[in-house]
Amino acid sequence: MVSNRFDEVTLPKEFRDVYDEEDGVKKFRLFIGGKWIRPESGKYFDVKSPSTRRVLAKAALGSREEALQAISEAVSSQNKIRSLAAIDRIEILEEASRLIAKYEEYFVNILVSEAGKPIVYAKSEVKATRERMRLTLEEARKIYGEYIPGDWVDDTRNKFAIVLRQPVGVIATITPFNYPLFSPIAKIAPALVSGNCVVHKPASDTPIVSLLLARVLQAAGLPDGVLNVVTGPGGEVGDTIISDPRVGAVSFTGSTDVGSKIPAKAGIKKLHLELGGKAAAIVLEDVDLDLAAEKITLGVIKNSGQRCDAISRALVVEDIADKLVDKLKGSFEKVKFGYPWEDGVQVGPLINERALSHVSELVEDAVNKGALLLVGGKSHGLIYEPTLLDKVPLEARIAWEETFGPVLPVIRVKNEEEAIEISNRSNFGLDSAIFTNSFYRMWRIAKTLQVGTVSVNDAPAHGVGNFPFGGVKDSGMGREGLGYSIDEMTVIKTISVNLEPAGMKKEAHKC
């Protein structure tokens, strides 16, 4: 049985080769070439509980040399994954999904421990991970080619073409701390089913879950070297795998600050960048106020606001602002915050001290510039209370900067035109939400907003990826989602066939 304590790492014997143990502290290894290896430097870094700040475990401090070794293993293993029939790749992922279900309690424990997720959200992430795997396998059956007849164009009248989708080769995947199980599988699963090898670097705040995921895929029968996991600093490990010319694609989810530097480092290769967001909820006069308050609150506080698609500002028309703010105040006051293992907790700790400092500074800046603090505004350890700010001026940093915490600034606007202008003025373009009962207003605004996704009468939520997800402007490039992720991880090859040698010219068809 899993320990009831959620500030320790408890694992079954099947995961014993993933780590060493010293003085009761687990020291996790690197996964390179199908082997669990200790870092050559002998150095490790601490993985701390966001809830208690005690050291949960240590992870290997991978080096540039070990990242290069992982790339070499991936390059030399490409034939292993390509030689597997698609049905065999599918069966490996099906078995991995079964093993995740078998060890679900342990995965939930780690998500609560190293990411500070409330139990309900940890369980939801495990479920979503398995569902994403299942649906990705269905999408793998749709990696079809295409036949293009040539006789529609004069210069190809005696030709036809077959268009194939083929694997990129080696893909570097880099994931953030906020969904440490789901984000890796959302990249790794489509990469594998489409015949690629992977070098994966997880966030240093939450590396353990990725290592357990690699062990599960290994146990499910994935050939050695097809998946490699190197933990360590982004400036060394991350930059190495991004810039190496043997890597054909980079799939990165993380901050705009880091992601914006990737194209220059990567050179000419496929890039998928899912970066920051500043989702605005535009609330119009004809709204269902109860629905808007409920959905906006959930959009702010889910995962403690540590989501790129979180609602992080509400643009509310003046005529209904007082009524909506009153309902939001009641809704925010009901949100339970605390340690993530406590019953009913919806908001747990932020990931680290730097994150807490950032959120605190944004709230303090807004209040100093005239915003009204209606709910929250205090912290307990790394737990930041659900916070509601009203009458936030546009001069406040929180009107424009990504918050990544459970805070909602309400910005009052004269009309929908002003709301659109403020929303589009942002450098980010990931998500927006519109709350209205008018189809025509919704349609007009949705087409005008400069974002990747518009949610109507709901908070942005991308779930298992049934709809495509991604941004414009500083929010990145490319799309994740069922089918769309596979597109990002394959390349098109066109085979043009000349029919003239077979005597199948135009003249041959004359009567």
C-beta separation of 108 from 119 below 8 A: yes
What pLDDT does residue 466 have?
85
Q: What CA–CA distance (Å, rounded) separates 467 from 51?
A: 33
Which residues belong to CATH 3.40.605.10 in the chain?
64-275+478-491
Q: Is the pLDDT of residue 375 over 50?
A: yes
322/486: higher pLDDT: 322
Categorize the per-residue pLDDT at 511 as very low, low, confident or very high, splitting at 50, 70 and 90.
very low
Domain 279-456: CATH superfamily is: Aldehyde Dehydrogenase; Chain A, domain 2 (3.40.309.10)
> Which residues in the chain are classed under CATH 3.40.309.10?
279-456
Please tell me the distance from the alpha carbon of residue 145 to that of residue 428, in angstroms, as a whole number: 35
Q: Is 197 a catalytic residue?
A: no
pLDDT-derived band at 30, boundaries 50, 70, 90: very high
Q: How many helices (H) and strands (E) does the chain have?
A: 16, 26
Cβ atoms of 410 and 316 closer than 8 Å: yes
The token duo for 456 is: 């109507």
pLDDT on residue 333: 98
The mean pLDDT of 100-115, rounded to a whole number, is: 96
Contact 140, 132 (CB under 8 A): no
Q: How far apart are the first and last CA of the chain?
A: 81
Provide the pLDDT confidence category of residue 373 given band limits of 50, 70 and 90. very high
C-alpha atoms less than 13 angstroms from C-alpha of 201 in its C-beta half-sphere: 30
Listed range (122-126, 400-404, 500-504) with the worst mean pLDDT: 500-504
* pLDDT greater than 80 at residue 7: no
The one-character DSSP state at 222 is: P
pLDDT at 482 over 50: yes
pTM above 0.85, yes or no: yes
Q: How open is the CA angle 129-253-383, to the nearest 5 degrees? A: 75
pLDDT at 141: 72
Would you call 274 a catalytic residue per the annotation?
yes
User: Which of 66, 274, 480, 488 is labelled catalytic?
Assistant: 274
pLDDT, residue 247, reads: 98
235 DSSP assignment: I
The maximal CA–CA distance of the chain, rounded, in angstroms, is 89
Q: For residue 11, is pLDDT > 80? A: yes
| Residue 143 confidence class, pLDDT cut points 50, 70, 90 | confident
What average pLDDT does this structure show over 496-500? Answer: 90
Share of the chain above pLDDT 90, in %: 87
Q: Which of 99, 114, 104 is nearest to 59 (CA)?
A: 114
Which pair of tokens denotes residue 425?
């003025």
The letter for the amino acid at 483 is G
Mean pLDDT of 221-236: 96
Task: Kindly report, residue by residue over 427-468, the tens digit of the pLDDT.
Answer: 999 999 999 999 999 999 999 999 999 999 999 998 888 888
502 pLDDT more than 90: no
Phi, psi of 173 (to 5 degrees): -115, 130
Pairing label, strands 270-274, 249-253: parallel
Quick count: other Cβ atoms within 10 Å of Cβ 393?
14
What type of residue is 292?
A
Q: Which of the four pLDDT bands, split at 50, 70 and 90, describes residue 3? A: very low
Spatial separation of the C-alpha atoms in residues 8 and 2, rounded to whole Å: 10
DSSP assignment string, 426-477: SSEESEEEEE-S-HHHHHHHHHHS-SSEEEESS----TTSSS-B--EETTEE
With cut-offs at 50, 70 and 90, classify the pLDDT of residue 500.
confident
Quick one: which of 193, 405, 441 has its CA closest to 313?
A: 405
To the nearest 10 degrees (0 to 180), the angle between helices 104-115 and 119-140 is: 120
Fold classification of 64-275+478-491 (topology level): Aldehyde Dehydrogenase; Chain A, domain 1 (3.40.605)
Q: Does residue 347 sit in helix, strand or coil?
A: strand
Buried b (16+ CB within 10 A) or exposed e, 111-133: bbbbbbbbbebbbbbbebbbbbb
| Res. 499: pLDDT tops 90 | no
Catalytic residue from among 308, 401, 480, 488:
308
pLDDT of 504 reads 57
Write the CB contacts of 283 (distance below 8 Å, at least 6 apart in sequence): 292, 296, 314, 315, 316, 317, 320, 324, 435
Q: How many CA atoms lie within 13 A of 420 on its CB side?
A: 13
Question: Which tens digits make up the pLDDT trace of 54-83?
Answer: 999 999 999 999 999 999 999 999 999 999
Q: How far is residue 410's CA from residue 46's CA, in Å, rounded to a whole number?
A: 38
Q: Taking all residues of the chain, what is their mean pLDDT, rounded to a whole number? A: 94
Q: In this predicted structure, what is the pLDDT of residue 465?
A: 86
